[in-house]
A and B are shown apart, each in its own frame.
Chain A
Amino acid sequence: MSADLVVEDLTAGYGDAQVLHGLRLTVREGEVCAILGPNGAGKTTLLRALSGMVRTRGTIRLGDAALTGRPPDAVARLGVAHVPEGRGTFMPLTVEENLRLGAYVRRGPDVETDLERVYAYFPVLRKRLKQAAGSLSGGEQQMLALGRALMLRPRLLLLDEPSLGLAPIVTRELFGIVRTINEEERTTVVVVEQNAHLALGVAQQAHVLETGRIVLSGTAAQIQADEQVARSYLGYRV
């Protein structure tokens, strides 16, 4: 059974303000899709719509499961892990507790196996197991957030600006791990990112969002080569 993410005629917003105007996109199972665009384009809102954090209209399907209209906890139980802006860390709880919460909706002994798997990806977390998550550095917290998301064994992983506030070297390491996860676990990923270079480096396809509409879609290579995108988001002239 395929578990493609299919989005059709998606509108979403906050109160009276509509932010997304009829989006349509498909992410095939096991692919990484990058969402690019300027501030205020609706990138974060798109992820929130996918995970049920904002009211939406239209269709969102993951495989044969309809996600539209479900609250975030129900979407999570269908295997969607959202690492939100601000990372969603439980600050007063320990690193290990944060990770276990990632697997909250799953039971059974494989939770222990998955903890080991996360420590293998992020050895630094093993050293901090009993430490309050709030005391970690920004980079460690982002690793914890990604680790927590992996504990769900997600079918779909949503990442919101993983590079935000991190040193370039940490960011590159993080994207390297995202790529590994995608390759090894065949996890479908939708990543919203200001740093277009990095995002296009791991993505197979990309969409450019402007004021709530998709203005450009294509393979990562096509987008990378696009003159307009290069000028606007990649920071150099071709």
Chain B
Amino acid sequence: MAGFLQQVVEGLGAGAVYASLALALVLIYQFTGIVNFAQGELAMFSTYIAWQCVAAGMPFWLALVVTLAVSFAGGMLIERVVIRPVEGAPELTIVIVTVGLFIFVNAAAGWIWTFLIKDFPNPFPGGALEAAGVSVNWSTLGVLGVVGLVMGLLYLLFQHTRIGLGMRAVAADPASARLVGIRVGRTLALGWGLAATVGAVSGVLVAPLLFLEPNMMGGVLIYAFAAATLGGFDSPAGAVAGGLIVGVAETLAGAYVGFVGSDLKVGVPLVIILGVLLLRPQGLFGRAAVERA
């Protein structure tokens, strides 16, 4: 039993990372209806910025603040420069643009920082918390705590601020949002900035567990897609729940399903994506639109 709990806890730790990238995906999808394939690469690039700051001698937490600020500005800039020109274009066009952005950011990171792996500092203390026969790494707890904090802040932003209300209005109906005086373009840019920031958190959290290199987020992105699909692409809370479920499912499958082992673990999110699309396309927490004709 303790062994099982141990696996669940580790799954939650991994899941929290997927959850934060899934959250970034869902944020952009809600605002623009765009599935941003470059989200993982943007997170990776942000992580490199954090690494660079630390390498330049900054304390970790200061480096994190700088990274989040740069990511926010970068996200807004990308919306203005790359996404704005194709706004309203067919979905396929936009998908291709985000795939192009994926390749561009990946190559840029390789060009600036090379493809050699780098060690990324772990901000949390080593060791573990022992309770009820289960030992939980401080870094797992730290990851869960940070993702919980991000969730809480986003909730406050969306439910209890004027800007958050404006953002939800734009997500619901951009044309009507314009009519009540909301600057829609600025709000969309804000959404991209926010998503890039949330994504950056996931990159910084995952980097100490993996190694920092330009292809670091490729696998995480697939898990994040599974999480967003499972939770529902229109539900931020669903994305987080989906991330945690995917993390636990992946860990448990690796530990208890003989043929999966550690080699086929990456197949788990794909099975989840397929299963959800077949059985409940709007996801666990997605809303079928409430609307009277």
A82 in contact (CB, < 8 A): yes
The CA-CA distance from A90 to B171 in the complex, in Å, is: 9
The dominant DSSP class at the B interface is: helix
The CA-CA distance from A138 to B292 in the complex, in Å, is: 8
B263 in contact (CB, < 8 A): no
The CA-CA distance from A100 to B182 in the complex, in Å, is: 12
B181 and A104 contact, CB distance less than 8 A: yes
Indicate whether A76 sits within 8 Å of B292 (C-beta atoms), given known contacts A93-B168, A104-B166: no
Q: What distance in Å separates the Cβ of A97 from its nearest Cβ neighbour in chain B?
A: 6
Residues of B within 8 A of A135 (CB): 290-292
**Please, what's the 1-or-0 string for A132-143, where 1 marks a CB less than 8 Å from any CB in chain B?**
101111100000
B280 in contact (CB, < 8 A): no
B179 and A76 contact, CB distance less than 8 A: yes
Q: Which of B162, B180, B183, B292 contacts A102 (CB 8 A)?
A: B180
Chain B residues bordering chain A, tally (CB within 8 A): 22
Q: Which of A71, A101, A138 contacts B180 (CB 8 A)?
A: A101
Chain A residues bordering chain B, tally (CB within 8 A): 32
Q: Which of B172, B180, B289, B290 contacts A104 (CB 8 A)?
A: B180
A88 and B165 contact, CB distance less than 8 A: no
A72 and B289 contact, CB distance less than 8 A: no
Residues of B within 8 A of A73 (CB): 178-179, 181-184
Indicate whether A91 sits within 8 Å of B173 (C-beta atoms), given known contacts A134-B289, A134-B292: yes
B17 in contact (CB, < 8 A): no
Closest to A131 in B: B290
Residues of A within 8 A of B165 (CB): 93, 97, 100-101, 104
- 9 A-B residue pairs with Cβ-Cβ distance under 8 Å, sorted by A, are A73-B182, A76-B181, A91-B172, A92-B172, A92-B289, A100-B165, A101-B166, A105-B180, A138-B292
Which residues of A are interface residues toward B (Cβ below 8 A)? 51, 53, 71-74, 76-77, 81-82, 84, 88-93, 97, 100-102, 104-105, 107, 132, 134-138, 148, 152
